[in-house]
Amino acid sequence: MIDGILLIDKPAEMTSFGVVARIRRVLSQQQGKKVKVGHTGTLDPFATGLMIIVVGKECKNAGMYSKLDKVYEATIHLGQNSTTGDPEGELTNISDYQPTQAEIEQALTKFVGTIMQRPPIYSAIKVNGERAYKLAREGRPVEVPERQVVVYSIELIDYAYPQLTIRAHVGSGTYIRTLAKDIGVALGTGAYCTQLRRTQIDKWSMAEAQTLETLGIVN
């Protein structure tokens, strides 16, 4: 491939930039010259799932792909908050209250539609020209402004306290880690995201994705 897109199933514990770097290296070796490769929206290191990788001349259209709707499946842990909104952060016990399934389903309805959301400080959003996560890791004050996002639907897939699993169809720019935290606030229990998988981007699904191993990329 010289120009076009690759659909990749990102593994856990790898950054999106790491995925791009590995694909760039392999394609450049195959072509005998440096190949331009980019991604169309980061996935957190702990997250897995669908990434659209742009190659060659298609890199100029990266912004178009990044604005597409997405579908995620997320496992949320109730009773605690995480400083990062995921398993990598420092955990704080909030409540041992066990909501009923009806209470959870009612809480989820509050987040469907056009909502205001404050992205996590541990994110790639730029604040005064610097990445928010970089400022946070350096212990510098970070204030990420709220923004409007769209959540088309949230489906409760499974619930066995303290874990619940949801499927969320969202617009561009929606943070599932923040959605998990806000669900915890609505329930009065605290919450953070323990697993996150992106299963669809617009018309593209995981059924079409390749793993790095199938591309011959092992490290």
**Catalytic residue set:** 44
- Computed over its alpha carbons, how large is the radius of gyration of the chain? 18
> How many angstroms separate the CA atoms of 173 and 149, rounded?
7
> How many angstroms separate the CA atoms of 42 and 47, rounded?
10
> How many angstroms separate the CA atoms of 147 and 143, rounded?
12
Kindly report the length of the chain: 219
Q: What are 151's strand-pairing partners?
A: 113, 170
CA dihedral 39, 154, 182, 123 (to 10 degrees): 0
Q: Which of 109, 72, 107 is nearest to 191 (CA)?
A: 107
> How many angstroms separate the CA atoms of 7 and 20, rounded?
12
Work out the number of other CB atoms within 10 angstroms of the CB of residue 168.
21
Assigned token pair, 80: 């605690």
Residue 185 φ then ψ, to 5°: -65, -45
CA angle 199/16/13 to nearest 5° reads: 85
